[in-house]
Chain A
Amino acid sequence: MTTTRLEAHGVGKTFRAATVLRDASLVVRPGEIHALVGQNGCGKSTLIKILTGYHSPDAGMSLAVDGQQLSLPVQWQAARAAGVSVVHQDLGLLDDLTVSENIGIGGFVHSLVTRRIDWKAQDEVARAVLERLELPVSPRDLVGDLPASHRAGVAIARALRDTVAGEGVMILDEATRALPRDELARFHALIRRVVATGTSVVMISHNLEEVLSVSDRVTVLRDGDVVGEGLETASLDEAALARLMLGSSVDRVIRSVAADPDAQVVARIEALELPGHEPLTLEIRRGEVIGLTGLPGTGFEEVPYLVSGARRPSDGTMVIGGRRIDLRRSSVAALMKAGVAMVPERRVRDGLAVELNVRDNLSLPSVRRKGRPWFVSRGWQHRITTDSIHRLAIRARSGHDLVKELSGGNQQKVLFAKWLSVEPVLLVLHEPTQAVDVGARADLLSTVHRAAEEGMGVLLVSTEPADLVEACDRIYVLHPGRPPREMRTEDADEVLEAVYSQPAPAPTPAATGAHHV
């Protein structure tokens, strides 16, 4: 019996002249949840990729699992046999296949003679793992039909398929990132059940609150160095952890200038029809940041797309710049022209063309406005690019860097800059700080404040209470079937409570019926 489950020392990685990881150590004890944190680009994903054999380490590294030395560079098959498993951030599930198939991928139970998959035995294997995890899921369910936390559970079941209960170490590489907040608790309970058996978990997360509440110990990386090794989370708070990650203290991002409550109204959303909700009407004043939140999945997330013309509501009007725009039959181009800019949630899918360079991405929304039909000059494109890189502290060599070469936080800054460059009247943001590190988050929220000070109206749609209280003047909490609740608060817990305290289907069907008619 060893006292460590996984022990890595002297881990270094140099890409030509750039050393991205120096003499790092990671020591994981049996049955603990060990968090690995650090800003984007600090080396934590390099560390994980060395452990999983994707990168080969520099000389001088040693790696042992349960006291048994592994040869380097890591052979993934050997690591897997020693009990190491990984759940990646996108979970790697195929929605069209069953739970059993998803769990079995890469190691189906099959006949040794005909190589035919023995589905009955496979289902049994799947059932056994699911029972171990106490997941109320049948092997024959389609993964696509499952709620988010169960999907994450299936990914974990796959990772633990071949490990004996109570052994092994599972690496969760930002696996909780896609989970809505209300499912997070269930997922955490699941991880706790896993470690209760003695299996260890290494958890990578940007969510410091999650790190502190779930993990036992934490290893902190900054610029390729381990700056905190195996610290007990009980002795830490969020500020201390953030200080370690950044090397300097981060204060809450507080607005220096509050919005003028009598400022001119720049945009008015009138009677916007949201499925299941009362029609939404709200006014956004010059220099004001309005928050909009609610229970994930109830439909308030649609608002950014409905008010920017990306999708059409069944009813609703936008009054902006002295014009009334019928949202039922408007378009992105028309609303852009009126002064609406929208930063969508999924930056890689909907926000940026990652195969193209920073300059082209930044210039895109202005090409028609600033260019002539037969000629788009490069001068203003260059100006926008240098301005943006400077203003948002984007870490890029130049505007010619492809967006996919940047880290997540820097991509998000490019996306912000792209829409700020059109100088909108109303800036609509959807989950603007999703999956970015603390440093980038602070930069992004300060940018929101600056935009407001310059006179834009901002509508911030988010499920992140901390973002809402730090950025917004007023916050609206939407619940299906109820009028929106307006709050002014600096306390994130108060927002959380407003979102979660009232059970969603509060009014009786009869009452809602009467209400609507």
Chain B
Amino acid sequence: MSDTSTTATAQPTTPSPQQPPAKNGAPVWLHQLASRYALIAVWALMALYFYVQVPDTFGTHGTFSSIFGSQQVLVFLAMSALITLAVGEFDLSVASVMGLTATTIPVLAGVHGMNIWLACLIGVGAAILAGAVNAFFVVVMDVSSFVVTLGTGTLLAGIAQAISGTNIVSVNSPALASFATQDVLGMPISFYYGIALALFLAYVLAWTPIGRSMVFVGSNREVARLAGIRVQRIRFGAYIAGGLLAGLAGLLLVATVGGFDSASSASYLLPALAAVFLGTAVVQPGAFNPIGTIVAIYFLTTGIFGLQLLGYQGWIQNAFYGAGLVAAVTLAKVVRDRSKKG
């Protein structure tokens, strides 16, 4: 790898070496385009296939809004995981933090009759607190983030079960529900929350000093430190922000569904992480990027939904998430390596 790239600088105009000579003319931009947007092309092909197979069900507005209107919780949760991954940390506790909020709100508002907005505030506050606890152990005590968040994740899942008495808890609040499900141009409003969040994060990472700092902290902490970046503060902040977004994911979950089974929070973790990693295969290949994550989420959802319409049930979700993740990230890496070597 290093050698071929060394020689690449000596021959500045030659892209992708391992292509057969016949394709000698394939220009650099085509490779870049391919490596950046291959997943979107696969997505389109997949959608076309489903449309041809089951036009009556797949081609309807109902299907469209089911695919695009159902993943807001996953979007928020994935963004929460993305923030910590971007600064070079792991956060395996995001799903449990979300579960904590999604349990706290119905318990306070539904069971104890607290004002719904106050309950939301407390629920999200608890999530931020959980992020701060993670940050304390990872950043201040310098313990491996993998270990800490695995531990706190399990702990918080237990606490949520204790709060709910291992029951499914629910709250009936039309105000809260409309906050998430109100119809805007044929989609629930929370769909736009997710898109806005991804655009906002993409902007922050690419176009603001704090975002640039985060990228460098994630890429090489010492380089960032020697450039005057307050590395510890950035890492701490990333956990807090991650906690906040996981809390908002929990809030959205309660608002959309009206209740939560605290035992189910673990099942949200892998889809969120899968989407973030799959997102590294699109738009900015090799980097954690919010737009790519959004694409990945809707790519995965489209695939699963289509397959379900074709009659595959239950097991297909896990199978598609897993296989899709490995296949797409591998493909993107292969394309990227080819267009980079010279």
Q: Tell me the B residues contacting A by CB distance below 8 Å.
A: 2-14, 16-19, 21, 24, 207-210, 212-213, 215-216, 219-220, 222-230, 286, 340-342
In the complex, whether A279 has a CB less than 8 A from a CB of chain B is no
User: Which residues of chain B are within 8 angstroms of A351 by Cβ–Cβ distance?
Assistant: 223, 226
Within 8 A of B (CB), among A333-355: 333, 336-337, 342, 344, 349-355
9 A-B pairs with CB atoms under 8 Å apart are A18-B10, A344-B226, A353-B216, A360-B216, A376-B212, A395-B10, A397-B9, A402-B340, A407-B6
Among residues of A, the one whose C-beta sits closest to the C-beta of B21 is: A16
Q: With A and B bound together, what is the CA distance between A97 and B215 in angstroms?
A: 35
Q: Which of A16, A354, A364, A402 contacts B227 (CB 8 A)?
A: A364
In the complex, whether A275 has a CB less than 8 A from a CB of chain B is no
Among residues of A, the one whose C-beta sits closest to the C-beta of B217 is: A353
Contact assessment for B225 and A332 in the assembled complex, using a CB-CB cutoff below 8 Å: yes
Contact assessment for B228 and A332 in the assembled complex, using a CB-CB cutoff below 8 Å: yes
Contact assessment for A46 and B219 in the assembled complex, using a CB-CB cutoff below 8 Å: no
Q: A15-B341, A41-B10, A364-B227 are in contact. Are A371 and B208 (CB under 8 A)?
A: yes
Interface size on A, residues (CB 8 A): 52
User: Which residues of chain A are within 8 angstroms of B4 by Cβ–Cβ distance?
Assistant: 15
Q: A15-B342, A333-B230, A353-B219 are in contact. Are A376 and B207 (CB under 8 A)?
A: yes
Contact assessment for A373 and B9 in the assembled complex, using a CB-CB cutoff below 8 Å: no
Contact assessment for B223 and A376 in the assembled complex, using a CB-CB cutoff below 8 Å: no
Q: With A and B bound together, what is the CA distance between A395 and B6 in angstroms?
A: 10
Give 5 closest A-B pairs by Cβ, nearest first. A16-B17, A18-B11, A333-B228, A353-B219, A15-B17
Contact assessment for A331 and B212 in the assembled complex, using a CB-CB cutoff below 8 Å: no
- In the complex, what's the smallest C-beta–C-beta distance from B318 to chain A, in angstroms? 31
- Max chain B Cβ within 10 angstroms of own Cβ: one of A40, A356, A360: A356
User: Which residues of chain B are within 8 angstroms of A353 by Cβ–Cβ distance?
Assistant: 216, 219-220, 223-224
Contact assessment for B14 and A49 in the assembled complex, using a CB-CB cutoff below 8 Å: no
In the complex, whether A228 has a CB less than 8 A from a CB of chain B is no
Q: With A and B bound together, what is the CA distance between A368 and B214 in angstroms?
A: 13
Contact assessment for B7 and A41 in the assembled complex, using a CB-CB cutoff below 8 Å: yes
- In the complex, what's the smallest C-beta–C-beta distance from A303 to chain B, in angstroms? 15
Q: A365-B228, A371-B208 are in contact. Are A16 and B16 (CB under 8 A)?
A: yes
Contact assessment for A395 and B215 in the assembled complex, using a CB-CB cutoff below 8 Å: no
In the complex, whether A184 has a CB less than 8 A from a CB of chain B is no
Among residues of B, the one whose C-beta sits closest to the C-beta of A395 is: B9
Contact assessment for A375 and B207 in the assembled complex, using a CB-CB cutoff below 8 Å: yes
In the complex, whether A199 has a CB less than 8 A from a CB of chain B is no
Q: With A and B bound together, what is the CA distance between A308 and B228 in angstroms?
A: 10
Q: A45-B6, A376-B208 are in contact. Are A350 and B12 (CB under 8 A)?
A: no
In the complex, whether A167 has a CB less than 8 A from a CB of chain B is no
Q: A16-B18, A332-B227 are in contact. Are A405 and B222 (CB under 8 A)?
A: no
Q: Tell me the A residues contacting B by CB distance below 8 Å.
A: 15-18, 20, 40-41, 43, 45-46, 49, 54-55, 223, 308, 310, 331-333, 336-337, 342, 344, 349-356, 360, 363-365, 367-368, 371, 373-376, 395-397, 401-402, 404-407, 410
Contacts A41-B10, A336-B228 aside, 19 further interface pairs with beta carbons under 8 A come to A17-B11, A18-B11, A43-B7, A46-B7, A49-B3, A332-B226, A350-B226, A351-B223, A352-B220, A355-B286, A360-B212, A371-B208, A373-B208, A373-B209, A376-B208, A376-B212, A395-B12, A404-B2, A405-B340
Contact assessment for B209 and A342 in the assembled complex, using a CB-CB cutoff below 8 Å: no
User: Which residues of chain A are within 8 angstroms of B11 by Cβ–Cβ distance?
Assistant: 17-18, 20
- In the complex, what's the smallest C-beta–C-beta distance from B26 to chain A, in angstroms? 11
- Max chain A Cβ within 10 angstroms of own Cβ: one of B2, B5, B16, B227: B227
Q: With A and B bound together, what is the CA distance between A471 and B311 in angstroms?
A: 75
Q: With A and B bound together, what is the CA distance between A46 and B12 in angstroms?
A: 17
- In the complex, what's the smallest C-beta–C-beta distance from B206 to chain A, in angstroms? 8
Q: With A and B bound together, what is the CA distance between A405 and B19 in angstroms?
A: 19
User: Which residues of chain A are within 8 angstroms of B230 by Cβ–Cβ distance?
Assistant: 331, 333
Q: With A and B bound together, what is the CA distance between A20 and B14 in angstroms?
A: 12
Contact assessment for A367 and B209 in the assembled complex, using a CB-CB cutoff below 8 Å: yes
Q: Which of B6, B219, B222 contacts A355 (CB 8 A)?
A: B219
Among residues of A, the one whose C-beta sits closest to the C-beta of B17 is: A16
User: Which residues of chain A are within 8 angstroms of B8 by Cβ–Cβ distance?
Assistant: 15, 18, 405
Q: With A and B bound together, what is the CA distance between A223 and B10 in angstroms?
A: 8
Q: Which of B9, B19, B210 contacts A407 (CB 8 A)?
A: B9
Q: A41-B7, A396-B9 are in contact. Are A371 and B219 (CB under 8 A)?
A: no
Q: Which of B10, B13, B19, B216 contacts A364 (CB 8 A)?
A: B216
User: Which residues of chain B are within 8 angstroms of A16 by Cβ–Cβ distance?
Assistant: 14, 16-19, 21, 24, 342
Q: With A and B bound together, what is the CA distance between A173 and B14 in angstroms?
A: 27
Among residues of A, the one whose C-beta sits closest to the C-beta of B8 is: A405
Among residues of B, the one whose C-beta sits closest to the C-beta of A401 is: B9
User: Which residues of chain B are within 8 angstroms of A55 by Cβ–Cβ distance?
Assistant: 3
Among residues of B, the one whose C-beta sits closest to the C-beta of A371 is: B209
Q: A364-B212, A367-B212 are in contact. Are A18 and B17 (CB under 8 A)?
A: yes
